[in-house]
Amino acid sequence: MNVSDFTYDLPERLIAQEPATQRDEARLMVVHRAEKRLEHRRVRDLPEYLRAGDVMVLNDTRVIAARLLGVKEGTGGQVELLLLEPLANPSEWEVLLRASRRPAPGARMFFGGGMLCAVMLEEGEKGRARVRFESQKPLYEVLDDVGLTPLPPYIHRKNAEQMQSARDRDRYQTIYARHPGAVAAPTAGLHFTPALFDRLDKAGVERVYVTLHVGIGTFRPVSVEHVEAHVMDEERYHFPAETAESLNACRARGGRIVGVGSTSVRTLESVMARHQRLTPDEGRTDLFIYPPYTFRAVDAMLTNFHLPRSTLLMMVCALAGSEFMLEAYREAVREEYRFFSYGDAMLIL
Instruction: Judge if 244 and 319 occupy the same domain.
Output: yes
- Looking at the structure, tell me whether residues 41 and 111 fall in a common domain: no
Inter-residue contact 247 to 259 (CB < 8 Å): no
Q: What is the pLDDT of residue 204?
A: 97
Is 130 within 8 Å of 87 (Cβ atoms)? yes
Q: Are residues 130 and 218 in the same domain?
A: no
Find the largest Cα–Cα distance for the chain. 66
Is 241 part of any domain? Answer: yes
Query: pLDDT value at position 287?
Result: 94
The DSSP annotation for 240-258 comes to -HHHHHHHHHHHHHTPPEE
Which of 99, 130, 147 is the last residue before a domain boundary? 147
Do 270 and 326 belong to one domain?
A: yes
Q: Assess whether 210 and 273 both reside in one domain.
A: yes
Is 333 domain-assigned? Answer: yes
| CATH code where residue 101 lies | 2.40.10.240
Q: Please indicate, yes or no, whether residues 340 and 195 belong to a single structural domain of this protein.
A: yes
Q: Residue 125: what pLDDT?
A: 84
In a domain, 78, yes or no: yes
**Which pLDDT value is given to residue 45?**
98
Q: What is the pLDDT of residue 157?
A: 78
In 178-280 the beta strands, taken as DSSP E runs, fall at: 179-182, 206-212, 235-239, 257-260
Give the Å distances, CA to CA, from 339 to 117, 271, 288, 304. Answer: 37, 29, 22, 7
Q: Rg of the chain over CA atoms, in angstroms? A: 21
Does 328 lie in the same domain as 265? Answer: yes
Residue 157 lies in a domain: no
Dist. CA 192–CA 212, nearest whole Å: 18
Instruction: Say which amino acid occupies 120.
Output: M
Where is the domain boundary, 130, 147, 164? Answer: 147
pLDDT of residue 162: 53
Please state, in angstroms and rounded to a whole number, the distance separating the CA atoms of residues 132 and 105. 11
Q: Which of 85, 112, 147 is the last residue of a domain?
A: 147
Based on the domain organization, do 93 and 226 belong to the same domain?
Answer: no
Tell me the β-bridge partners of 346: 29, 303
E strands in the chain = 27-32, 37-42, 55-59, 61-63, 67-72, 78-86, 92-99, 108-111, 116-123, 128-134, 179-182, 206-212, 235-239, 257-260, 281-285, 300-304, 345-348
In a domain, 159, yes or no: no
The verdict on 23 and 89 lying in the same domain is no
Low-confidence ranges of the chain (pLDDT < 70): 159-165, 219
Cα gap 80→92, rounded to integer Å: 17
pLDDT of residue 160: 56
pLDDT of residue 223: 83
Position 156 scores a pLDDT of: 84
CA distance 347 to 32: 8
What is the CATH number for 40? 3.40.1780.10
pTM here?
0.93
Question: Are 92 and 132 spatial neighbours (Cβ–Cβ below 8 Å)?
Answer: yes
pLDDT at 217: 75
Q: Are residues 195 and 257 in the same domain?
A: yes
CB atoms < 10 A from the CB of 235, how many?
24
Sheet holding 345-348, edge to edge: 37-42, 27-32, 345-348, 300-304, 257-260, 55-59, 206-212, 235-239, 281-285
Residue 33 lies in a domain: yes
In a domain, 160, yes or no: no
Domain enclosing residue 111, as ranges? 67-147
Do 216 and 292 fall within a single domain? yes
The helix or strand, by DSSP H or E, that contains position 8, with its residue range, turns out to be none
Q: Is residue 337 part of a domain?
A: yes
> Domain count of the chain?
2
Burial of 312 (0-12, 13-18, 19+ CB in 10 A): buried
Going by the DSSP 8-state scheme, the letter that residue 226 receives in this structure is: B
Residues 99, 56 within the same domain: no
**Rounded distance between C-alpha atoms, residue 72 and residue 99, angstroms:** 9
